Amino acid sequence: MYPPPPPAPHRDFISVTLSLGESYDNNKSRRRRSCLRKWKQLSRLQRNVILFLLALLVLCAFLSYTHMADRWKVLGGSPTEGQRLRVEMTGQKPANPPVLPAPRKADTNPEDKPTMLPQKPRKHIRRRPPHLQIRAPNIDSKDGIQGEAQEQVATPGDTHQEETPQRTVISWRGAVIEPEQGTEHPSRRAAAPTMPSAPAVRMQKDPGPQNARQKGVIEAFLHAWKGYRKFSWGHDELKPVSRSFTEWFGLGLTLIDALDTMWILGLKKEFEEARQWVSAKLNFEKDVDVNLFESTIRLLGALLSTYHLSGDSLFLRKAEDFGNRLMPAFATPSKIPYSDVNIGTGVAHPPRWTSDSTVAEVTSIQLEFRELSRLTGIKKFREAVENVTRHIHSLSGKKDGLVPMFINTHSGLFTHPGVFTLGARADSYYEYLLKQWIQGGKTETQLLEDYLTAIEGIKAHLLRRSEPGKFIFVGELAHGRFSAKMDHLVCFLPGTLALGVHHGLPAEHMELALALMETCYQMNHQMETGLSPEIAHFNTFFQADLKDVIVKPADRHNLLRPETVESLFYLYRLTGDRKYQDWGWGILQSFNKYTRVRSGGYSSINNVQSIHKPDPRDKMESFFLGETLKYLYLLFSDDPDLLSLDHYVFNTEAHPLPIWSAA
């Protein structure tokens, strides 16, 4: 019998359940199934509302992206394009040699030499002026454009730089100053355009000693500059009575406007100090609105002019940067530019109260933008402003060449038709017709035809004689009704007419220029202070107890304007009659007597009819240094080669730009 088998060994088992396609994930799949279950538990209405909100969110995100992409495109295109087209401006030379000796430092410091902002050099084909051997003042030809970013300048009035400018709206063409933010505008460049070049003007010899009257102008300039330097250095305009400053654009407006004046007057120390401020402090990356017209004629014009006179490429670099930042103003349906543009964000807009621009503003930026294109080879500047010129030329609504004061930026049509003036909002339209024709080498016949037609329109509709002096004046026409009102601004016309005759236009224009010059002088002479009111009305009916010039209380202020002395300069330069110098000297004496502020500077005044209480307005406009004193200095010069009218044309802010030779 067999023994029983041994008991089986005890074994433990572990049961594992495998599920294909699933893994342990902290119950995430279960949560997903739970969310799906809850979604199915929602009512159809609830699900539709949620889907609608999600779709709305996606749509808003898409629209926001599109808007920002357009904004980036306006500010300069793709980064690749900006990187490809940025330029190193080494070796750029002005179209004309300097007409006066270059200001020089007493000690040349290599650390004070200007440089471009740090960036990678890139190749670019740039249109160059004729081969002129010129050096910028105190800048070595090899590395004269290097070091700008590192340049440190101890400038007067730096304590003001920390102050927050007061937000103000200045004049009818003013702009509101906003907090600073920066935006760069890369250049869009093209091959150099085919256009006339500026002639190689011979080097001006040392002008020699200045006469007593020119020294009087220099003394007045230095007194004005003393106030600006002490109380408002680097700010826009001086308030000489309160010893403070006012901001319009926040870009050192007076300093830049006066650069070429200092060069012409031979003020070497002052020029070099201002040049250092431009190099170290002038920065256009600011979230601020600027008026297209005012900033073009004052800032862009001054930078271009100073570049031509000094040969210093710093000013051309600044001009190009600023010009690029103004270009968004032209992005309108009609290509008629908006009045204002933010140079930091690239957002342009019309004035707050209207969608119109003024005709004078959109047609008085051409000299500057055309010259900027000629120097840089960037076509867009010239194309933008010449589109405006051609558009205005083709419009209906004119009256024998006279244009209304306003134009709509959307429709491109004149608005407020039937009102014609040579005063504010229309004046420089006529001036720039002639000056563009001269600038371009007298080849653009459309400009000449429009100018000649306009002069005939002025003679037919706006000229009258006053009583009892029988002075010819330029009035205004509103819906067929004549008004004997003449702005002091109209006193640009005698000089413009004389300039046209100098360049071959009918001699009868000079007869009208001489007559109107007498009238503008009387607008000053018949005032107790010897200074013209802002607006004059003329007596057209004989009354023994009335003068020719009548001034209303609201119009009797004087803003230190240049138009009378501007025309005196042209008339003396082209006739040689010294009475025009005497008249200008009298006006300078009146400025010294009634507008000079003891601590420094000159102030506009409220009442030109009171010698006891002229009532200072506590503001020195930038054009007093940029235009008024410059024209007085040139008026008192007997050297016709000092900024010869055969080689230079002055913009409407008295900044000389070269005349191009015919192609």
Binding-site residues from annotation for Ca(2+) = 652
C-alpha distance from residue 166 to each of 178, 254, 255, 541, 621 (Å): 10, 17, 19, 48, 17
Among candidate residues 474, 432, 470, 436, the one with its CA nearest the CA of residue 457: 474
Element holding 71 (H helix, E strand) = helix 44-74
DSSP line for 634-646: HHT---TTTT-TT
Query: Active-site residue among 563, 618, 621, 627?
Result: 563
Element holding 550 (H helix, E strand) = strand 549-550
Query: DSSP H helical segments within 503-578, as ranges?
Result: 508-525, 563-575
545/537 Cα distance (integer angstroms): 16
Among candidate residues 595, 572, 594, the one with its CA nearest the CA of residue 583: 572
C-alpha distance from residue 209 to each of 204, 214, 266, 309, 412 (Å): 14, 10, 11, 20, 53
Query: Active-site residue among 236, 321, 340, 534?
Result: 534
CA dihedral 225, 230, 235, 237 (to 10 degrees): -50
Give every strand in the sheet of 414-415, ordered side by side.
356-358, 406-408, 414-415
Decide if 621 is catalytic.
Answer: no
What 3-state DSSP class applies to 230?
Answer: helix
Where do we find the tokens 């000489």?
240
Query: Active-site residue among 294, 450, 487, 621?
Result: 294
Please state, as a whole number, how many other Cβ atoms lie within 10 Å of the Cβ of residue 110.
Answer: 9
Query: 401 Cβ partners below 8 Å, 6+ apart?
Result: 450, 452, 453, 454, 455, 456, 457
Where do we find the tokens 């996606």?
58
Contacts by 349-353 with C-beta closer than 8 Å and gap 24+?
349/289, 350/409
For residue 657, what are the β-bridge partners? 649
Among candidate residues 335, 332, 338, 330, the one with its CA nearest the CA of residue 357: 338
For residue 246, what are the β-bridge partners? 237
Among candidate residues 597, 573, 559, the one with its CA nearest the CA of residue 517: 573
Decide if 534 is catalytic.
Answer: yes
DSSP letter at 244?
A: E
Decide if 148 is catalytic.
Answer: no
Annotated binding site: 652
Query: 592 Cβ partners below 8 Å, 6+ apart?
Result: 220
Query: 72 Cβ partners below 8 Å, 6+ apart?
Result: none
Peptide bond into 468 cis (omega under 30): yes
Helix crossing, 508-525 with 563-575: angle to 10°? 140
96/130 Cα distance (integer angstroms): 8
Residue 186 and residue 319 in contact, taking contact as beta carbons nearer than 8 Å: no
Decide if 427 is catalytic.
Answer: yes
Six token digits for residue 352? 């707050």
Element holding 45 (H helix, E strand) = helix 44-74
Query: Active-site residue among 320, 427, 431, 618?
Result: 427
Q: Which residues are catalytic?
A: 294, 427, 534, 563
